[in-house]
Structure 1
Amino acid sequence: MKYDVIIVGAGASGMMAAITAASHHKKVLLLERMDKLGKKILATGNGRCNLSNAYMDENCYRGQRPSFAYPMIEEFGLEDLIQFFESLGMLVTEQNGYYYPASLQATTVVDTLAQKLKHLHVDILTEFEVTKAEKRKSTFYVYGNDKCFQSSNLILATGGCAQPNLGSNGSGYKLAKDFHHKITDTFPSLVGLEAEGKYLKDTSGVRNVSNVSVYANNELIAKEHGEVQFTKYGISGIPIFQISHFAIEALRRKKKVKIYLNLMPQMVTLEETTEVFLKSCNYKTVEEFFQGFLNKKLVYAILLRLKIDPRKPVAQLSRKDLNRILDMIQHFEVEIKGYKGYDMAQVTAGGVSTKEIIQGTLESKLLEGLYVVGELLDVDGTCGGYNLQWAFTSGYIAASQIGRQ
């Protein structure tokens, strides 16, 4: 049987593409290497599925062409996505600018999409490993599981390398390369960063709202704010995920990366407050005194890093040492030595070069009828629903183009 379109990958972008193409009365085959559809969706938003975000601009996306994705998101964005899901009978709710299914369950999203695919009579094969794809004359031939399927159009929606246990194993890059597409440098993003320092064993488990400043060879390259999580290996949490792309990119270029944390960003009068407290609380030890400011594990780590005896009476603390403590509270240095792998990353940075993809249709500039969508492209978003929005948007854009044929 020959199809109008074959879609490789049944994640967010693949399922959206299948629904959109089938809604245009196209004969669709959806191929998925895992045993179920949408496994990666189930893991998003801590199982609640953060679909999109109220704040959206081109600075939310990265890649060699950071502005590539945004014009298409303007064409099919948040309001369009809400309308799409409501047309399938699923309500969407907002919490502090983040959008989720009203059930707050990622399974609702997958089930809703699967139900629509069934209603549209989309042919679906799971546990199907595509091993080869080629085009001869006007027809694509897709091979796998000792079978071959034909179609007029082919959409690659395989995802990148992040969370391979959920389906993204990088196989789509080979398929794209077979069609002579260039793959830009790929690496994990939205991921924890590994650090150097004996203090890590003391601070592990601490969560602290901080200002985060990232330097590469002493040049400021990124800033964020939010709750940083200290771990045995380094630092994590949403603000670290947000800046991880830039830190990792610098590390891969052999640059020296350091992160400075302002551990008390809300305290703009830190020095003045310290002076007031010194007058009324000079009976405390240095450790006891600063535990009134910060988590005791952070206080202990700071004092040990500065080689100041925690048991020393604060009244005997020199002005120089006091200033050193205050400076480290506001500039807690974390030397970054590495980063966690794809198994812990939320998304892949890099991918199929967008220079070879038509902006606005996502069709290959190299081969008519070939489309590349979602995380497989050199497009990655920040935390907060941006990557899922791009997945849904790109699937819709590519399939709509096919639907117009």
Structure 2
Amino acid sequence: MDAAAQPYDAIVLGAGAAGMMCALTAGQRGLRVLLIDHGDAPGRKILISGGGRCNFTNLHTAPDRYLSANPHFAKSALGRYSPQDFLTLIERHGIAWHEKTLGQLFCDGSARQIVDLLMQECAEAGVTLLLGHPVAAIAQRDGLFHVTRNGIDLAARALVLATGGPAIPKLGATGFAYDVARQFGLSVVQPRPALVPFTLGAEEALFQSLSGVATEVEVHWQKTRFREAALFTHKGLSGPAMLQISSYWQHRTPIAVDFAPDAAPGWLVEHKQRQPRGAVRRVLASGLPARLAEVLAERLGLDGELGTITDKRLRAAEAQLARWPFQPNGTEGFAKAEVTAGGIATRELSSRTMMATRVPGLYAIGECVDVTGWLGGYNFQWAWASGWAAGQALAEAHGAGPSPQTMT
């Protein structure tokens, strides 16, 4: 049947995690759904995630692990579609998985399994998929949303924005969803790179010489802190700890790094008492990579034997090692950001249905909304949950009624 022959119940723009989840959920409820993506294949971001194994959710998912202008917005969707709900789907398809650390769940095999799962579910739900051409125009008239693609007018009673944000442009990521949102009068919280490496200025060149060195730290920005690995790069700072704090960081503000998060107060003085002839860099190297220990000792100006250094100076060194200041001059931007923070303002949307409160029939889900999760599967869980919520709402709006799961 010609895709443009008659109006669809819904057109979903974006065949990523959120878009496919929304499409298959609505399709399973009997709706005629058209799923469109400008790329040649669906799920491109899924395929590269988790080192190719897709960190598809996190067991510790909770609303307080998401950033948004409205910290309560994500509660409804996350509460109604949980990590266990997605695990049930994973296991029904026979996909083996494992927990890595901190509640992060990965496929034992390839991320391709997740894309194949979603595509199979879409196909079984009767979803029509169109790939390989961008949308040229969107309009609303006669009670329908009209999408012009490849010279063809496609119409539907509802339109779902699931095209993500501009993070990782090499995968085709753009700010298209924001343009459409503004076209319909919705406000957008300024998008910015999140889960992104920091860059350091010339004054930190000594640390840039440590490119490739990693160690566990606790990083602080104001009252926010994360304890995970940090990685020095030729441009600055990366690794899970730095990616996490980058989502909170504001330009022209410092971050602080605790290089000895397990050390008790007075630990350097105690080392001095036990080993007065020991070198500071060797003491540091007992818990840190040797190259990093040397740089820290040099920066501290403590390159002699412990016995020759006063207790006062050692305590001052302990304090600096516990809150070592770094002043990033920026980040590596959307090109290296794992996700986009900001996006379509949550005050414009219903937290239960994901529909625009002032534009009936227009929905926004996933990364294009101002909801950004921590590193470690949280953003995928938001994609599944928001996509499921919108898919259910679409069905209810067309008289299908709530599914049994929404009644629990």
Is contact 2:162-2:366 (8 Å) kept?
A: yes
**Correspondence list, 1:203-242, <5 A:** 203-214=210-221, 220-242=222-244
Farther off after superposition, 191-200 or 121-130: 191-200
The corresponding residue for 1:10 is 15
- Gap change, CA 1:319 and 1:17, over 3 Å in 2: same
- Gap change, CA 1:289 and 1:209, over 3 Å in 2: closer
Shift of residue 130 of structure 1?
0.9
Shift of residue 260 of structure 1?
1.5
Shift of residue 298 of structure 1?
2.2
Deviations along 1:119-173, one digit per CA (max 9) or x if unpaired, are 3332111112012111102111101222211111111110011112223211121
Is contact 1:131-1:143 (8 Å) kept?
A: yes
Identify which of 147, 157, 161 aligns with 1:156.
161
Is contact 1:101-1:108 (8 Å) kept?
A: no
The corresponding residue for 2:83 is 78
The corresponding residue for 1:259 is 255
Q: Which residue identity is paired with 2:255?
A: I
- Whole-angstrom distance in 2 between the partners of 1:277 and 1:367: 67
- Gap change, CA 1:157 and 1:293, over 3 Å in 2: closer
Unaligned runs of 5+ in 2: 399-408
- Gap change, CA 1:175 and 1:276, over 3 Å in 2: closer
SS in 2 for 1:350: strand
- Whole-angstrom distance in 1 between the partners of 2:10 and 2:300: 64
Deviations along 1:247-276, one digit per CA (max 9) or x if unpaired, are 1xx21xxxx41122111111215x24x344
- Gap change, CA 1:333 and 1:151, over 3 Å in 2: same
Is contact 1:221-1:246 (8 Å) kept?
A: no
SS in 2 for 1:186: strand
The corresponding residue for 1:184 is 189
The answer to whether the aligner puts 1:200 opposite 2:183 as a matched pair is no
Farther off after superposition, 67-76 or 116-125: 116-125
- Whole-angstrom distance in 1 between the partners of 2:205 and 2:323: 17
Q: TM-score, normalised by structure 2?
A: 0.89
Shift of residue 117 of structure 1?
2.0
**Correspondence list, 1:2-401, <5 A:** 2-96=7-101, 98=103, 100=105, 102-196=107-201, 197-214=204-221, 220-247=222-249, 250-251=250-251, 256-269=252-265, 271-272=266-267, 274-308=268-302, 310=303, 312-401=304-393
Q: Which residue identity is paired with 2:174?
A: N
Shift of residue 289 of structure 1?
4.6
- Gap change, CA 1:285 and 1:54, over 3 Å in 2: closer
Percent of pairs with identical residues: 29
Unaligned runs of 5+ in 1: 215-219
Q: Which residue identity is paired with 2:45?
A: K
Shift of residue 116 of structure 1?
2.2
Q: Which residue identity is paired with 2:158?
A: N
Shift of residue 93 of structure 1?
4.0
CA-based RMSD of the aligned residues comes to: 2.0
Is contact 2:349-2:355 (8 Å) kept?
A: yes
Shift of residue 385 of structure 1?
0.9
Shift of residue 300 of structure 1?
2.1
Shift of residue 113 of structure 1?
1.2
Is contact 2:58-2:105 (8 Å) kept?
A: no
- Gap change, CA 1:276 and 1:66, over 3 Å in 2: closer
- Whole-angstrom distance in 1 between the partners of 2:109 and 2:103: 11
Q: Which residue identity is paired with 1:189?
A: A
Farther off after superposition, 159-168 or 2-11: 159-168
